[in-house]
Homo-oligomer: A and B are copies of this chain.
Amino acid sequence: LGTGGVGQTLATKIVGVGHEVCMGARDASNEKAAEWASANGAGHGTFADAAGFGEAIVNATAGTASLEALEAAGAERLAGKVVIDVANPLDFSGGMPPRLSVCNDDSLAEQIQRAFPDARVVKALNTMTASLMVDPGLVPGEHTVFVAGDDDAAKQEVWELLKSFGWPDGSMLDLGGIQAARGMEMYLPLWLSMFGAAGTPVLNVAVHVAES
């Protein structure tokens, strides 16, 4: 779900590792989705078409539009499925830096899980730029991909997908239940500052823990 840079990058990689993809947009006639689908031998359609097609759903819509997009996808088409939420609830309407439209006491991922209780929501990949999501080797050394969600089996399915993207063993840090998505989303202002300091968005953090 989503036709922007994040959606296209993820969809292309998911096709590349051997899955069938239907890219979902608000309108079935979305030109970006049609072009991408044509170039990648994949399908496209409405959010509902894509949600109905997929065994797993990737929410790569703008964070401030995600709930509406998922509503259009339809609760019955999300039920029982892994929903990988990679979106960030960033509101750019007030200029830079953006503010989070939800934070501190709640998160977008929790909002999605509450709105669609039968979906198996996993927060993942929102802490990095799209190119790095699908090619962790762009950054030197081992670095960390966080996941959070209430469904352990869903997190394991996401991890299998991430491994197929090239994420090495040990690079996933499971932060626990979906509430931990708050921290993953509230990390974005720090990430934006790091982007500014480094001069590139192709960066990530590696978590180092003291040996006990």
Say whether A193 contacts B104, CB under 8 Å: no
CB distance from A125 to the nearest CB of B (A): 14
Which residues of A14-56 have CB atoms within 8 Å of chain B's CB atoms? none
Interface residues on A, range: 35 or more
Which residue of chain B has the shortest Cβ distance to A173 in the bound complex? B197
Expressed in whole angstroms, the Cα–Cα distance for A196 and B173 within the complex equals 11
Q: Is A189 an interface position by the 8 A CB rule? A: yes
| A200 closest partner in B (C-beta) | B210
A180 touching B202 in the complex, CB below 8 Å, given contacts A104-B99, A187-B186: no
Please judge, given known A-B contacts A97-B179, A99-B104, A100-B104, whether A198 and B209 are in contact too, CB under 8 Å. Answer: yes
Judge if A65 is at the interface, Cβ distance under 8 Å. Answer: no
Binding site for B on A (CB under 8 A): 97, 99-100, 103-105, 132, 138-141, 143-144, 146, 148, 173-176, 179-180, 182-184, 186-194, 196-200, 202-212
**12 A/B residue pairs, CB under 8 Å, sorted by A:** A103-B103, A144-B205, A174-B197, A182-B189, A183-B191, A184-B190, A186-B187, A198-B209, A200-B209, A202-B210, A203-B209, A205-B206
